[in-house]
Amino acid sequence: MDINELNQFAQQLIREAGQRIRDAFSYDLEIETKSNPNDLVTNIDRETELFFIERIQAFNAEHRILGEEGMGETVTDLNGVVWILDPIDGTMNFVKQHRHFMISVGILVDGVGKLGYIFDVMREDLFYAIAGQGAWYNDSPLRQLQSLPIEEAVIGVNARWVMQNEQVNHEKISDLVRTVRGTRSYGSAAMEIAFVVTGKLDAYMSMRLAPWDIAGGVIIANEVGAVTSTLTGGPIDFLSSNHFIIANPSIHDVILRDYIEVLC
């Protein structure tokens, strides 16, 4: 398989899907809820995933697709070429803000991440990586992340974590929030990951992210030295949901050791 040809195809496809999503604002969105009243999905999420599936299958019928909306076949192993895709990451932002949502795509070959993409649909900004060759933000190569002390870090964390919750020890998270320079919460996991790989954030963490939220980002992270793991320091599994952290390598371990206690 020619990885550069696949990269060209994927970039073209992602940009075309982005154009379709932008065009969709001129007609009505159908908004439904999934697991809870704040877990949204629209007809555009589903139509975009179907668009990817049809185009990928026309490109190579052996490629398989693991997508959030489940419009493709069921994927339970990572043999061969597997696309892990989230057609719209940040659906609430899509619906409410009409910005700050991403297309997230990771392409794996026999379980190994080869190509990663995070596309900011409204800004038409592409973050991407080719494993072993490097990572780019549009036409600019991304540099290895520089070390910094935790006191100078700006981190992506959800405000609910600072309140008492069943997921993490909120007192330790409050300590982290007091220690760092600043916190942000953007509402799109892929966007926050894109910010960490470009040094605009120094860490981002979340509970229960799915493979399609993180696959593209993890592949980009590997090229710039960002560290990805579960919140207990375990490896990322592209077939199951789990808690997640991506961080500058100089602060990953200290965050897990001093500030994160997973309760569930």
Stretch that binds ligand 2AM, among 84-92, 106-114, 217-225, 227-235 (CB under 6 A): 84-92
* Neighbouring-strand partners of residue 203: 155, 247
- Give the separation between CA 127 and CA 226, rounded to whole angstroms: 14
Least distance (Å) between residue 41 CB and Ca ion = 6
89: contact with ligand 2AM by CB under 6 A: yes
Going residue by residue from 148 to 187, which x/- string records binding to ligand 2AM, judged by CB under 6 A? Answer: ---------------------------------------x
202: contact with ligand 2AM by CB under 6 A: no
Element (H, E) at 236: none
CA distances from 2 to 6, 133, 222 (A): 6, 14, 21
- Give the separation between CA 45 and CA 55, rounded to whole angstroms: 16
Terminal Cα distance for the chain, rounded: 42
**Judged by CB, which is closer to Ca ion: 88, or 219?**
88
What residues between 172 and 231 interact with Ca ion by CB under 5 A?
A: 213
Strands, sheet with 242-247, edge to edge from the N-terminal-most edge strand? 182-184, 154-156, 203-209, 242-247, 227-229
| DSSP 8-class letter at 152 | G
Going residue by residue from 44 to 73, which x/- string records binding to ligand 2AM, judged by CB under 6 A? Answer: ------------------------x-----
Least distance (Å) between residue 55 CB and ligand 2AM = 20
- Give the separation between CA 132 and CA 148, rounded to whole angstroms: 25
Q: Is 175 annotated as a binding residue?
A: no
Here the tokens at position 214 are 């993180």
**Judged by CB, which is closer to ligand 2AM: 133, or 167?**
167
**Judged by CB, which is closer to ligand 2AM: 150, or 168?**
168
Residues near ligand 2AM (CB under 6 A): 35, 39, 68, 86, 89-91, 187-189, 208-209, 213
